[in-house]
A and B are shown apart, each in its own frame.
Chain A
Amino acid sequence: MTDAPLMTPGSADPASSPVTPHGVPHRGGPMNPSAERIRARFPAAFVRAEVVWGETTVFVRPDAVQDIVRYLHDDDSERYDYLSDVTAVEYRDLELPLQVVWHLRSLPYRRFLRLKAEIAKSAPLRVPSVFPIYQGADWLERECFDMFGIVFDGHPDLRRILMWEQYQEGYPLRKDFPLRGRFSRSEQLRQALAAEPESRYSMTELTIADAFEDLPLEMRRRLAGGEKTGE
C-alpha cells in the first residue's frame, strides 16, 4: 500500500470537509451548481430542476440524456466520474409517465446529482444508453430493461438478466403486474421447469459459434431452432 492513493475524492475541492447532513428541509435548500450549468448548456433538453430532501433532481428530455451525461462526465468543472445507479420509477397513477433515473456522483467535487427523464407510456419506452460513457451501466440497464421493459438504445447486449429469457409474464416491477404473477403458481412452476436456463449456452455471445459445424447434431438442431440464449 502506498501513501499517496492514485485518486482521492475531493481533490478538486480540497477545502471542503463533508459532514453528516442534519435538519435537511423537505423542499428547497442549496441546489447543485451543475443543474444551472446543464440549463445553460442544454436549454432545449432541460425541463426543470428541484431540490427534495437536499438532493438535486434535474429533469431532462430523454433523447438528450447521453449528451448531458457525456458533458457531466467529461467537463472539467463537473467530473461526474461515478455512476451509482440506473433505475426507473412507475407511479401508481397509471396516467403519469414512467421516469428513468440516473444517480451520478462527482468524486473530485463530492457532488451528487439525480438525473431524470420522463417517458410517456403512449410512446415506445426508449432512452439512450449511457454504457458508452460508464461501463458500470451494463447490468444496471439490463436490469431496468428486465424489470420495466425500457429499451436502452445503444446498449450492446440488452437481454433479460434476472428473469430467464423465455419469461412469459412481462415486466415484474410495472404497476400493472400483480404481486404474485399473472399465471397460477402451477403454471409458473411448469414454465420454469420447462425453461431449464442452466442447460443452455448462447450462440451469439460465444466465439465458439465459429465451430458450429463441429457441434453435436442435437445441439446444432437446438441452436438452429431459434434457441438463442439461456437466460
Chain B
Amino acid sequence: MAEKRTVEVSLSTSGLDAAGRPQRTPLVVDEGGRISTLEAPPSLEPELIGEHMLINIGPQHPATHGVLRLVLELDGETVVRCIPHVGYLHCGFEKIGEYRQYNQIIPWTDREDYLNSPGNNVAFALGAERLFGVEITPRCTVLRVIAMELSRIMSHLVWLGTTCIDIGAFTPFLWSFQERERIYTLLEQWIGARLTTTLTRVGGMGADIPDGWMDGLRDFIRTLPKTIAEVDRMVTRNGIWVGRTIGIGAMSAADALNAGLSGPLLRASGVAYDVRKDFPYLDYETYDFEVPVGTDGDVYDRFLVRMEELRQSVRILEQAAARLPDGPVNVDDPRLILPPKSKAMSEMESMIHHFKQVMEGPRPPIGETYVAVESPKGEKGYYFVSDGTPKPVRWRIRPPSYVNLSAIPQMVEGHLLSDVIAINASIDIVMGEIDR
C-alpha cells in the first residue's frame, strides 16, 4: 500500500497587489510531481487588445441563487465591469403591507427573506410592538431569542451548502440540509410549518412550545457542532477552497462601511458592528457571545466569520435554553391578543374583543418607528409609519442583502470570471429580500 504523503500546494492566488487586484501566478508541476508556483513570464499572457466580451449571467443561472442578472464585460477572463440587474423577483411586499392589518402582514415576512423566516417574524413583531407600545413577557423574549438563533443557523446552513456547491464541493450541501431537516422538525413541532413559519404575533407568539420540545432543542445543540466540525475539517484547510477564496473580493473596512454593508460582510472587513451588541433588542446584552471579526474582508474571511457565527449561535441557544422562564407567552392585552376560543364563544366581553380584532384590527397610536435586528444577512430593519388606522401607512423593509449586493461591482472588478461566482456566493444573497 502506498505511503500517505502530504503535498504542499502553494496557492495560485497569493494576494493582492497595490492596486487591489489579485496577483496571479500559475501552478507548475516539475518532474517529481511536486506542485509549486512560479512567477509567470509576462510574455505568456496573450495580449488581447481591446477585445472585450460581454456576457450575461442569469436571470436563470444556478450560481446566482435565484434570479439575479449580472452583465459582465470581460477582458480575456478578467472582469472589467460588472452591472447587476435586480428586480426580477419584485413582488410588491411593501405595497401589500399598506392593505393589511399588522398581524396579517406577518405571513409576508416569512416569504421575504425565506431562509430566515422565524427571524423576520420576530423582527416584525418587535417593530409592531414598539409602535403599539407593548412590552412582551419574559418567556416570550427568550423564546424569540431561540427562534432568531435557530433561523440564523438555518440561513447560514443554506449559505454553506450552496456556496460549497458553487465552489465545487457537493457533500457539505447534503450535511447542511440534514441539519436543516432537524430544525424543520423542531419548527414543525412548535408552529406546524417547516419553512414559512409565521411564528410570532404582535404581543406574543403564535404558539407556546409543546412539552418536551426543549429536549429536542438540546439534542440539536449537542450534535450541530459535530456537523460544523466535519465541514470545518473538510473545507477550511482544503487547498482548492483556500485557493479559490483567499484574496478574492476583498473590501477594506472604510469602503465596506461607506457602501453600507452589514452583517458578516462588514465584520469580515474588520468592523465589529453587530446590531445585537450595539443596538440590542430582546435583552441580547445579557447573553455571553463573541462577535467574530475578520481582517481582509475577502471571501475566505466571510466564510470564517459565518462558521464562527454558527458556533456562537449554538452558545446563545444553550444559554437561552438554560434560562427559559415559565409564565405566559402572550401579553395580557385584549386589544392585541385574541381571547381563547372557549371564552370568545361564552363571554360577551371576549366575544366583542374577538370581533373587533378580527373585523377591524388593533389600532396603534400615530407615530413611526424603525426597528433593526441582526439578521443572518446583516442589519434588517422594519420601518413603520402609522396614522392611527389598523393598517400601516408605510411598511418599509430595510433589506441588508440589497445593500450588500449593490457593492458587487466593487468586489468583482479585476477578478476572474470564476471568482465572480465565489464572490456572489459569499454575499449570501436572497433574491426574495433584495427585490421584495
Contacts and interface: CB of A to CB of B under 8 A. Distances in A.
Interface of A: 1-2, 5-10, 17-20, 22-24, 26-27, 52-53, 55, 57, 81-85, 87, 89-93, 101, 103, 105, 107, 110, 112, 114, 134-140, 143, 147, 160-164, 172-173, 177, 179, 197-198, 201-202, 205-208, 210-211, 230-231
A59 to B, nearest CB: 12
Interface in B244-284: 253, 255, 257-261, 269-273, 277-284
Interface residues of B, number: 77
B434 to A, nearest CB: 9
Contacts of A206: 54, 71, 73, 81, 83
8 A-B pairs closest in CB distance = A136-B260, A6-B270, A162-B87, A139-B406, A5-B293, A162-B90, A5-B272, A7-B271
Given A112-B279, A163-B90, 18 more contacts: A2-B295, A7-B270, A7-B273, A18-B280, A20-B283, A53-B131, A89-B368, A90-B393, A103-B383, A114-B370, A136-B258, A136-B261, A139-B86, A139-B405, A161-B87, A179-B95, A198-B69, A202-B83
B383 A101 contact: yes
A84 B285 contact: no
B391 to A, nearest CB: 9
A92 B388 CA distance: 11
A172 B80 CA distance: 34
Contacts of B135: 22-23
Given A7-B271, A201-B54, A136 B253 contact: no
* A interface, over-half SS: loop
A135 B319 CA distance: 39
A103 B397 CA distance: 12
Interface of B: 50, 52, 54, 56, 58-59, 69, 71, 73, 80-81, 83, 85-88, 90, 92, 94-96, 99, 130-131, 133, 135, 253, 255, 257-261, 269-273, 277-285, 292-295, 301, 304, 308, 365, 367-370, 372, 379, 381, 383, 385, 387, 389, 393-394, 396, 398, 402-403, 405-407, 435-436
B385 A89 contact: yes
Nearest to A57: B368
Contacts of A139: 86, 402-403, 405-406
Contact of B86 (A1, A91, A162): A162
